[in-house]
Amino acid sequence: MLVASVSDFRKDIKSYLDRVAKNFETLIINRGKENGIVVMSLDEYNSLMATNHELASRKNEMRLDSAIEKLKSGNSFEKQLIED
């Protein structure tokens, strides 16, 4: 995680944005006491939103937990996809 002040960010915005985009880093821009902005790549944001959606209901969360447990215990199987 990167942390910068507004003035540091303003001085070197391209470098900060390049690091966020290329290294999947999160940038916190401090704007005073307990006030800040978070900058992240679009891929990282989309990943967080997908996870949030998948865990939005208790039923989905239970399905995912069950699938993870099956995989960990070796209780899973593999299927070949049919290609046209």
Q: What is the pLDDT of residue 17?
A: 96
Our CA angle for 46, 68, 62, nearest 5°, is 80
Q: What is the pLDDT of residue 7?
A: 94
Host domain of residue 35: 2-40
Average pLDDT, consecutive stretches of 10 residues, N- to C-terminus, the chain (84 residues): 94 96 94 90 93 88 89 86 84
Same-domain pairing of 17 and 31? yes
Q: What is the pLDDT of residue 40?
A: 96
Same-domain pairing of 34 and 57? no
For residue 79, tell me if it sits in a domain: no
In the chain, what is the greatest distance between 2 CA atoms, to the nearest angstrom? 59
For residue 55, tell me if it sits in a domain: yes
Same-domain pairing of 6 and 36? yes
Q: What is the pLDDT of residue 4?
A: 95
Whether residue 1 contacts residue 28, with contact meaning beta carbons closer than 8 Å, is answered with yes
Whether residue 29 contacts residue 5, with contact meaning beta carbons closer than 8 Å, is answered with yes
Domains contained in the chain, number: 2
Q: What is the pLDDT of residue 84?
A: 75
Q: Scanning the structure block, which residue is given the tokens 């891929």?
A: 43
